[in-house]
Amino acid sequence: MEREAAEIRDPVHGYIYADELEKELIDTSTFQRLRRIRQLASAYLTYPGAQHSRFEHSVGAMYLAGRAGNHLVSHGVIDKESVKEIRAAALLHDIGHGPFSHLFEELLLEKKNIVHEDLTRRIILETEIKDVLVRHGISPKRFAALPIGISRDHPRYVNDIIAGFLSVDTMDYLLRDSYFTGVEYGKVDVHRVINSYEVVGERLSIEKTSIYALEALLVARYEMFRSVYFHRTVRAGAIMLVKAMSLSDSELGFTDIRSLPGFLKLTDEVTLSNLVNLKSQSRDGKFARQLAIDYRDRRMLKLVFEKVVHRKDEFLQKLFSQKMFRENFAEEISRRANVPSRYVFVDVPTTPSVPTTSSRESISEILLVTRDSQGRRIQTIKVADLPIASAILGYMDILRVYTLSKYRKDVETAMDSIFEREGFIENVPARD
């Protein structure tokens, strides 16, 4: 790394040092905006300590990327100039996030069919970020795809460091989210994983002796999704925000991203303020405003039904096939409960319980490297053959139904009727 230009005291990693390039990137107003976007969006209403932002997560990812890069330098895989780009890419990997992080992304996907990575590339190419990179001899056009882990101008293993199941992004958010929520599951020996990095061809692999650290990483991610990211009350807040933004989008223009300056003005508090202060005469606008006020004051939607869904459940499997079916399902609940459909919320948070690679492929195998007196030997192992990982393979599908407090009993009765008809029922009372 170049001469240290800044020192940052981080509660997770300790002292983090930034060079001139990194300091200039951090000091841009575009990057400083990340201070005003919470890492876990609505989770602070359930875990009060979860006030941390995309800013410190990005700095933490940069630090781990530097550790990973220096490790590969020591193995003669890359040079120090490459570490400079890897650190900068990790620093900027979340620069395209909108307010409430992934919740805004749900809105973008619904309205514009784009994700935050698309905005990350635009921001790098169209804002002051571009000027900083040019001043330090980095081609923005060549660099822009690296922070989202899909660069064809860099080896695959470099992309894997930024995005994928062995990425510094995953490692930092598990440690950081665990620390600030007070949940113990995310505590993983990430340095053990990084120090075991090996490169086989174009692929990032690990030393065989570190397989248990890798399994701990996979299990920690799984448990954090169960206990934090997909927590029932966390998801209730998420539903309220996404619905409010969606209903008011035509009036407030959240997804009008033709001009980046307008998008870059959107932060958590600005967006919530816009929603709470919306002066609308439309039914959708009024409901959006009420949802935002209830969210602000923590009057949450009530959970009336929850079921962990296995893909062998043929009836519920349809719920994951298309949005229209979920909407029709909400309509059926509405009809049976005699409750307006706009007050019935069907939530199906779905994610691979084992993460994907930087190329967005499902992990099917891992390359393990053994170094001994016989030299360097490479072994391919199926993920399904890992004792612990095999137990969490597949998808973590949770069907939940929420409604307003005053309709709770009516919707519960309707859910009983629907699932008794299908031959299985698992009613779980809400815990406020």
Q: What is the mean pLDDT of residues 143-160?
A: 95
The domains of the chain, with CATH numbers, are: 6-231 (1.10.3210.10)
Calculate ∠ Cα 426-352-57, nearest 5°.
115
152-161, 322-331, 366-375: the lowest-pLDDT one? 322-331
pLDDT of residue 421: 56
Cβ atoms of 111 and 79 within 8 Å: the answer is no
Q: Which amino acid is at 365?
A: E
What torsion do the CA atoms of 68, 72, 75, 77 make, to the nearest 10 degrees?
A: 170
Cα 256 from Cα 146, distance rounded (Å): 25
Global pTM reads: 0.91
Taken as a whole, the chain contains a residue count of 432
Choice between 395 and 15, residue whose per-residue pLDDT is larger = 15
Contacts of 74 (CB under 8 A, 6+ apart): none
Containing 379, the helix (H) or strand (E) segment is strand 375-382
Average pLDDT for 161-168 = 90
Per-residue pLDDT tens over the stretch 85-135:
999 999 999 999 999 999 999 899 889 988 889 999 999 999 999 999 999
Higher pLDDT pick, 47 / 5: 47
Q: Is residue 229 classed as helix, strand or coil in its secondary structure?
A: helix
- Classify strands 365-372 and 203-207 as parallel, antiparallel or unpaired: parallel
Mean pLDDT of 138-167: 94
**Helix orientation angle between 268-276 and 232-252, rounded to the nearest 10 degrees:** 70
Please state, in angstroms and rounded to a whole number, the distance separating the CA atoms of residues 324 and 310: 20
Q: What is residue 135's predicted lDDT score, i.e. its pLDDT?
A: 97
The pLDDT confidence band at residue 328, using thresholds 50, 70 and 90, is: confident
Q: In the numeric block, which tokens belong to residue 151?
A: 């660069």
- Token pair of 7 as six digits: 């020192």
Whole-number pLDDT of residue 91: 98
Q: Is 346 within 8 Å of 307 (Cβ atoms)? A: no
Mean pLDDT score of the chain, rounded to an integer? Answer: 88
In 188-261, which ranges are E strands? 197-200, 203-207
Beta bridge partners of 38: 53
Give the end-to-end CA distance of the chain in Å, rounded to a whole number.
49
- The pLDDT of residue 365: 78
Q: What is the DSSP letter of 301?
A: P
What is the C-alpha separation between 390 and 26, in angstroms, rounded?
Answer: 40
Span 149-176, mean pLDDT?
Answer: 93
CB 167 within 8 A of CB 161: yes
Lowest mean pLDDT among 110-124, 154-168, 237-251, 317-331: 317-331
pLDDT of residue 424: 42
In this prediction, residue 427 carries a pLDDT of: 43
Question: Residue 380 has what pLDDT?
Answer: 85
Q: What mean pLDDT comes out for the span 338-350?
A: 89
Supply the pLDDT for residue 429. 42
Residue type, 272: L
Nearest to 352 by CA among 340, 344, 343, 361: 361
User: Is pLDDT above 90 for 291?
Assistant: yes
pLDDT tens readout for residues 365-402: 788 888 877 778 888 887 767 766 665 665 567 889 99
pLDDT band at 258 (very low <50, low <70, confident <90, very high): confident
Distance in angstroms (rounded) separating the CA atoms of residues 294 and 174 = 29
Gap between the Cα atoms of 300 and 408, Å rounded: 12
Cα(196)–Cα(61) distance, rounded to whole angstroms? 18
* Whole-number percent of the chain with pLDDT over 90: 66
| Of residues 351, 354, 345, the one with CA closest to residue 411 | 345
Q: Report the range out of 183-187, 302-306, 349-353, 362-366 with the highest average pLDDT.
A: 302-306
Of the candidate ranges 7-21, 221-235, 339-353, the one whose mean pLDDT is the lowest: 339-353
Distance of CA 250 to the CA centre of its chain: 26
* CA 38 – CA 225 distance, rounded (Å): 17
pLDDT of residue 360 exceeding 90: no
